[in-house]
Amino acid sequence: MQPVPTLKSVMTPFPHSVEVNADIRTARAMMDQHGIRHLPVTENHKLVGLLSERDIWVARNVSDETLAELSISAGNVCSRNPFVAEITDPLADVVLDMAARQVDSAVIVRHDRLAGILTTTDVCRLLGEILRGLAPSQDVPA
């Protein structure tokens, strides 16, 4: 039996966050540059929310302006109560909590400081690796 992976081994570590007063154009540019879909929002290095691609999309469509025209701050459109887990929490507990809360990400902290993020993409990648290791691939007859 293989050991259960740790949260740290599955999450995406990141030093990326955006200040609460940054406009969403800046946040979107950072997300594009780093290839991420979720961006923690901080105020004086403390987590205050989580900005997602969907939050930006909704802000743009509600305002009926293009992203280039928007001057809305990340703090005004981010989710203010993201699911937060400590890096030492068991992976199974965090994944089951994500499912129960119906959220697609968990912000991971180490002693109240940002350490990473666990997304459904990370969990799916792990599940795929586990499934691949359990059974040999079988060709489907044509």
How many Å apart are CA 74 and CA 41, to the nearest integer? 7
pLDDT classification of 15: cutoffs 50, 70, 90: confident
Residues paired with residue 86 on neighbouring β-strands, in sequence order = 109
Does residue 9 have a pLDDT over 60? yes
User: How many Cα atoms within 13 Å fall on the side-chain side of residue 116?
Assistant: 13
Domains, the chain, in order of start with CATH, read: 7-133 (3.10.580.10)
Handedness of CA 84, 87, 106, 48 (dihedral sign): positive
The single-letter DSSP state of residue 79 is: B
**Can you tell me whether residue 32 is helix, strand or coil?**
helix
pTM above 0.75, yes or no: yes
pLDDT classification of 142: cutoffs 50, 70, 90: low
- 74-120 pLDDT tens trace: 999 999 999 999 999 999 999 999 999 999 999 999 998 999 999 99
- 31-58 pLDDT tens trace: 999 999 999 999 998 999 999 999 988 8
Q: What is the dihedral of CA 96, 102, 104, 105, to 10 degrees?
A: -60
Give the pLDDT confidence score for residue 45 in this predicted structure. Answer: 86
